Chain A
Amino acid sequence: MSRGVTRLDRGVYALAGVTVAGAAAVGGAKEGAGPLGPRFDLTIEDDLHGTTSFEAAEASLALQAVDQSLKKSGLARDAVDAVLGGDLLNQLYSTNFSARQHQIPLYGLFSACATFTEAVGLGAMLVAAGGVERALAMAASHHMAAERQFRYPIELGYQRALTASWTATAAGAVMLRPEMGEQASDNLGADRAVEGGVRVTAVTTGRVIDFGGHDPMDMGTAMAPAAADTLERHRSATGREWGDYDQILTGDLGVVGSRILVDLVRDGDRFRDRHEDCGRMLYSPDQDVHNGGSGAGCAAAVFAVWAYPRIQSGELRRVLMVATGALFSPTSYQQGESIPAIAHAVEFECIGRGA
């Protein structure tokens, strides 16, 4: 199958010839104790993960996610053309410091918790356009590191709002490469057959949407309109209906944001049947996370351990993933600005199994 990118509309592109060759995720102890815990490639028990700071621990998680996805794709570090990824920490701490270790050419991206689909979408477009043969998309977050940057010191006692999300300690990475039949031009590494593979078929780049949400303890409210906007743009440009997807997976809207989203999208009842949210899936209700999981690593990990294997097996034949990000900073919040949000969409399909 030949590669290519076709413009469907402003910011919406159909892709040909790009597959996901492998996906991996690592998580923290709380994530490991959640419903998806047993599926993680690795879970860490210690929040510091053998380092001296939570930030360094997050970088180490990011590096492990990269290495695990390389292992599962059967590739070495030097066989990868580019890593695209990001995290929540200032100046992309963990992405940059993990790249200091892996030495793969790096595109650092920031869309807060939507970074994962931004990285996958952009990486898939690079591969589809040709030139880049193997691109690795990753995203990472660490609960403690996010707490100390965005909220309060760890040991400070305070009651979290019921609408507040819990930043996940997790990192996920996926390998993107051309579909078999077209060999990598330089033949680096061992390209595996992609029987039952996962194809990236369309990408929608989000716009920054702001409906005036002000509360960082309620990011579901701030992000739901961005998800609705991207979903509608993707749906109308690709000419699909909600029923055409086996699963529509939003990232990190949580309980509250998901309920709002159903009210915002066209044909909400049918949408609800197909919809699930990464933030609601990562933890069980008794883990006291209130609105659900969030953080750049949440959507990345849920895709890697839950969605990807299901698309691969053909259980889900077409999945639309829309990760959402709240683009505020402590500075913008303290200066009284509302919370702008963004959502990037990537559409995945199962390649010819049981069709």
Chain B
Amino acid sequence: MPEAGNPTDKATQTAYEKLAARHRPTAPAWGNLWRAFVIGGLICTAGQAVISFFEAHGYTPTTAAPPTVVVMIGLGSLFTGMGWYDALVTWGGMGGSLPITGFANSIVAPAMEYKREGPVMGVGAKMFTVAGPVIAYGLAAAFVVGAVRWFLGLAA
């Protein structure tokens, strides 16, 4: 009688995994890479166009970054709201997920989804179910990197 949590013995599991693995299709890696390159490239080109627009209107490369981020997040949110962004990622994979527009998608999608559970326990509580870990560990990583920089005396 196997214990709870230990369903079948390790040897059976390993043998079964080997059998099952033979029948699984493998992801088309080269096709996925190419499509991620196309979608990611298009989004980055759009981002560059926005930066160039701001630079043409009196911003420096440094000061153009914040308004560009705002515009790209706005566009990502708009595409999510229109129901287009998930289709874009289904096709382009990481090319759509990784840019900041994908980050916007990961916040707007749950916000739309949990609207039905109300503004507090729905949207408010669940808006960051997907992006939450990214924000939490992003802040933690920023703290570590910032600390290292400070100790090395590189901080301005």
Instruction: Tell me the A residues contacting B by CB distance below 8 Å.
Output: 52-53, 148, 152-163, 209-213, 218, 221, 224-225, 255-256, 259-260, 263-264, 337-338, 340
Contacts and interface: CB of A to CB of B under 8 A. Distances in A.
By size class, the interface of chain B is 35 or more
Given A154-B109, A211-B16, 18 more contacts: A153-B109, A155-B80, A155-B81, A155-B108, A156-B105, A156-B113, A156-B130, A157-B85, A157-B97, A157-B109, A158-B89, A158-B97, A209-B7, A212-B13, A255-B25, A256-B20, A259-B23, A337-B5
B24 A162 contact: yes
Interface in B22-63: 23-27, 32
B130 A152 contact: yes
Most central of B25, B85, B93 by chain A CB within 10 Å:
B25
Which 5 residue pairs of A and B lie closest in terms of their CB atoms, listed nearest first?
A: A157-B89, A210-B7, A212-B13, A153-B113, A156-B109
Contacts of A337: 5
Interface of B: 5, 7-8, 12-13, 16-17, 19-20, 23-27, 32, 80-81, 83, 85-90, 93, 96-97, 102, 105-106, 108-110, 112-114, 116, 129-130
A210 B8 contact: yes
Contacts of A212: 7-8, 12-13, 16-17
Contacts of A210: 7-8
Nearest to B83: A155
Most central of B16, B96, B130 by chain A CB within 10 Å:
B16
B20 A153 contact: no
Given A211-B8, A225-B16, A153 B130 contact: yes
A65 B12 CA distance: 41
A211 B81 CA distance: 41
Given A256-B24, A337-B5, A155 B109 contact: yes
Most central of A157, A161, A211, A340 by chain B CB within 10 Å:
A157
A161 B28 CA distance: 11
Given A157-B97, A211-B12, A212-B8, A260 B110 contact: no
